[in-house]
């Protein structure tokens, strides 16, 4: 009797774990099919030149302009990495929760 109960519990936990992993994979596939990563990349690609143009008109000192542009490039790269992490990990968890 104890073996049957133990086997049932193990089977239930295994089934639940497999179902949970499959659901997470399905959510990630849905997010990929919605092309959210492509939209995010296009947004970053379109915003960067506009900001650089605005910075160029406001800063007249060439050395400050070069430093600012380098800083902005590094900030955008960091922003893209963070956004990708959010899309890959956090959004699927929120989608699953709600």
Please give the model's pTM, rounded to 2 decimal places.
0.58
Give the domain range for residue 71: 2-97
State the sign of the Cα–Cα–Cα–Cα dihedral 84, 89, 93, 96: positive
* Residue of higher predicted confidence among 67 and 3: 67
Q: What is the pLDDT of residues 62-85, one digit of tens each?
A: 888 889 889 988 988 898 889 888
DSSP structural state of residue 66: H
| Segment 88-96 mean pLDDT | 81
What proportions of the chain, in percent to the nearest 5, are helix, strand and coil?
A: 95, 0, 5
Question: What's the structural domain count of the chain?
Answer: 1
Q: What is the pLDDT of residues 10-68, one digit of tens each?
A: 767 666 665 656 787 888 888 888 888 888 888 888 988 888 888 888 888 888 888 98
């Amino acid at each position: 009797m104890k073996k049957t109960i133990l086997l049932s519990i193990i089977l239930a936990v295994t089934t639940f774990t497999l179902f949970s992993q499959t659901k997470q994979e399905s959510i990630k596939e849905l997010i990929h099919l919605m092309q959210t990563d492509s939209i995010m990349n296009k947004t970053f690609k379109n915003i960067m030149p506009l900001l650089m143009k605005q910075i160029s008109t406001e800063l007249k000192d060439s050395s400050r302009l070069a430093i600012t542009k380098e800083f902005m490039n590094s900030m955008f790269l960091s922003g893209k990495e963070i956004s990708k992490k959010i899309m890959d990990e956090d959004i699927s968890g929120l989608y699953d929760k709600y």
